[in-house]
């Protein structure tokens, strides 16, 4: 749309002239039309941002033109004009998408303010639309990485839920499996995407404040309630509210949440009136809420109300090679944010990733990749920068000799450098990997006479990597 172009549509030449002169004085370009047909042609060819449209024209109604404008370019700003304002016409115009309605004779000062406000409102709407489109893209199901059977089944179910009319959804899965990401994908994949997505972590809000946060309060409801406050449910009207760690909600508030879900209304703290509510509730927990309800730590009736639609997120250890797909995704991400140029993992790291059980799931994997990329100064991630817990947490499950390629306790550093690694053998009794590493560093420093550059060459690592290990020895 042309930012400063205004189309004036009126069958009276004097009005077109007067408005044209005023628009030029305000800094706008203007074009004119005296009929509906001419106006639609001008609108299509010139793409004006604003249309000043008379309702009564010789060849038709301006209300019909309004509908045509909005169908072609919904973002256009249409201001209707008439010398005989009728209530029915006003309602029809506003329902048809008109920004405002102004009567004749036209007050130019009023028109100038209306146009300026219309441009500001249109700019804001475009910015909001752009932001929502970006959020919809960023949090779409296409952004969820995973090709394993478990993930394909889970995503297929979530897509059906997103397009359904389900008012409540329960997400269950271990910590770090991506429940918050899935909640956003469900919201932005639904008809509610243009309305708010409000998230709250129940565990992060003190119990004394949670009711007011969720449902709001009336003025004077308690000592510090000096004004009426909208709660998160009210703010999410039309959209989605995501209640993370729902298992932490106190039992008395669970009863109030159940009432909201069943009756579709809420009441502010200290209020006497119920307010209608249209919102989808997505609740999430890393606990088994069925077991919690059987132990009287969660209301069974609320569990059944939420679990009509239940989605279980698989842990990372059950997702096969999804771990490698996610790891490569995070390499690309951190290459941008950390300004690195890491290209890949070594085969050793891939084997470690495949066999590790990832108790912290995707969140743990992300942290491992970020740490390694901060410390690594080559083009690939090696085992040298993996956390100790990762290296020794599941050694029994690893093909140690081939995957780790580390020395036995009796091995020593020789001038042949890193090539000697291929002949190292793991004894039947096993090894203490950390002690082996420290021993090799000490031997390299001794053999090089304390020359760090030479010691690093003997070990096949960079000088910075050697310094990091020397610091560990000192600690």
Mean pLDDT confidence for 129-150 = 85
Q: Tell me, rounded to whole angstroms, the distance of Cα 441 from its chain centroid.
A: 45
pLDDT of residue 424 exceeding 70: no
The percentage of residues in the chain with a pLDDT greater than 70, rounded to a whole number, is: 88
Mean pLDDT confidence for 272-291 = 93
133 touches 68 (CB < 8 A): no
Mean pLDDT confidence for 185-201 = 94
Domain ranges (residues) in the chain? 2-134, 139-314, 318-474
Q: Which pLDDT belongs to residue 134?
A: 80
Q: Which pLDDT belongs to residue 135?
A: 75
Measured N-to-C along each axis, helices 361-375 and 322-337 cross at an angle, to the nearest 10 degrees, of 50
DSSP string covering 302-338: HHHHHTTSEEEPPPGGGSTTHHHHHHHHHHHHHHHHT
Q: Which pLDDT belongs to residue 425?
A: 53
CATH number of 318-474: 1.10.8.60
pLDDT of residue 409 exceeding 70: no
Instruction: Give the model confidence (pLDDT) of 206-244 as tens digits.
Output: 888 898 899 988 887 777 777 888 899 999 999 999 999
- Among 36-40, 50-54, 207-211, the minimum mean pLDDT is found in 207-211
Instruction: Give the model confidence (pLDDT) of 261-272 as tens digits.
Output: 999 998 888 888
Say which residues have a Cβ less than 8 Å from residue 52's Cβ, sequence separation at least 6.
Answer: 6, 7, 8, 9, 10, 19, 79, 81, 111
Query: Which of the four CATH numbers 3.40.50.300, 3.80.30.20, 3.40.50.920, 1.10.510.10 does domain 139-314 have?
Result: 3.40.50.300
**What is the spatial distance between Cα 337 and Cα 12, in angstroms, rounded to a whole number?**
60
7 touches 30 (CB < 8 A): yes
**What is the spatial distance between Cα 352 and Cα 393, in angstroms, rounded to a whole number?**
10
Q: Which pLDDT belongs to residue 119?
A: 86
329 touches 145 (CB < 8 A): yes
Query: Is 139-314's fold the same as 318-474's?
Result: no
Q: Which CATH architecture has domain 2-134?
A: 3-Layer(aba) Sandwich (3.40)
- Among 87-91, 103-107, 238-242, 358-362, the minimum mean pLDDT is found in 87-91
Query: Residue 353 is encoded by which pair of tokens?
Result: 């990733």
Q: How confident is the model at residue 398 (pLDDT cuts 50, 70, 90)?
A: very low
pTM: 0.65
Beta strands 2-9 and 48-54 are parallel
Q: Tell me, rounded to whole angstroms, the distance of Cα 197 from its chain centroid.
A: 10
Instruction: Give the model confidence (pLDDT) of 457-468 as tens digits.
Output: 778 777 777 877
Residue 26 half-sphere exposure, CB side, CA atoms within 13 Å? Answer: 21
**What is the spatial distance between Cα 142 and Cα 333, in angstroms, rounded to a whole number?**
16
Q: Which pLDDT belongs to residue 472?
A: 72
Instruction: Give the model confidence (pLDDT) of 286-303 as tens digits.
Output: 999 999 999 999 999 999
Q: Which pLDDT belongs to residue 311?
A: 97
Say which residues have a Cβ less than 8 Å from residue 56's Cβ, sequence separation at least 6.
Answer: 62, 82, 84
pLDDT of residue 255 exceeding 90: yes
């Amino acid at each position: 749309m042309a930012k400063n172009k205004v189309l004036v549509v009126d069958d009276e030449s004097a009005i077109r002239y007067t408005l044209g002169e005023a628009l030029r004085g305000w800094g706008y370009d203007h074009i004119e039309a005296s009929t509906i047909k001419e106006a639609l042609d001008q609108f299509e060819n010139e793409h004006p941002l604003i249309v000043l449209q008379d309702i009564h024209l010789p060849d038709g109604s301006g209300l019909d033109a309004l509908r045509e404008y909005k169908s072609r370019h919904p973002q256009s700003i249409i201001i209707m004009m008439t010398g005989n304002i009728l209530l029915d016409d006003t309602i029809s115009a506003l329902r048809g998408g008109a920004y405002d309605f102004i009567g004749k004779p036209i007050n130019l000062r009023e028109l100038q303010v209306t146009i300026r406000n219309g441009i500001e409102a249109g700019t804001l709407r475009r910015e909001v639309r752009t932001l929502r489109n970006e959020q919809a893209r960023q949090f779409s199901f296409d952004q969820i990485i995973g090709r394993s059977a478990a993930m394909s089944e889970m995503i297929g179910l979530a897509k059906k839920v997103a397009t359904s009319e389900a008012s409540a959804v329960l997400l269950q899965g271990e910590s770090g499996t991506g429940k918050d990401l899935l909640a956003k994908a469900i919201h932005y994949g639904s008809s509610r995407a243009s309305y708010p997505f409000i998230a709250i972590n129940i565990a992060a809000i003190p119990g004394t404040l949670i009711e007011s946060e969720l449902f709001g309060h009336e003025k004077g409801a308690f000592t510090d309630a000096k004004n009426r406050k909208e709660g998160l449910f009210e703010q999410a009207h039309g959209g989605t509210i995501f209640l993370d760690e729902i298992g932490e909600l106190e039992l008395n508030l669970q009863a109030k949440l159940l009432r909201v879900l069943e009756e579709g209304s809420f009441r502010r703290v200290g209020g006497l009136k119920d307010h209608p509510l249209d919102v989808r509730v997505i609740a999430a927990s890393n606990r088994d809420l069925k077991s919690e309800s059987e132990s009287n730590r969660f209301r069974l009736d609320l569990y059944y109300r939420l679990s009509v639609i239940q989605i279980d997120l698989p842990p990372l250890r059950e997702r096969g090679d999804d771990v490698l797909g996610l790891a490569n995704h995070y390499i690309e991400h951190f290459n941008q944010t950390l300004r690195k140029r890491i290209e890949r993992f070594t085969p050793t790291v891939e084997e470690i990733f495949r066999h590790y059980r990832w108790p912290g799931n995707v969140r743990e994997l992300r942290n491992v990749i970020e740490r390694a990329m901060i410390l690594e100064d080559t083009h690939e991630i090696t085992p040298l920068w993996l956390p100790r817990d990762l290296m020794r947490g599941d050694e029994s499950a690893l093909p140690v000799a081939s995957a780790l390629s580390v020395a036995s306790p009796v091995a020593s550093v020789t001038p042949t450098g890193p090539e000697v690694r291929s002949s190292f053998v793991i004894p039947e009794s096993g090894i203490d990997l950390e002690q082996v590493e420290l021993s090799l560093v000490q031997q390299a420093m001794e053999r090089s006479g304390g020359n760090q550059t030479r010691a690093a060459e003997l070990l096949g690592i960079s000088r910075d990597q050697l310094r990091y290990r020397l610091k560990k020895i000192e600690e």
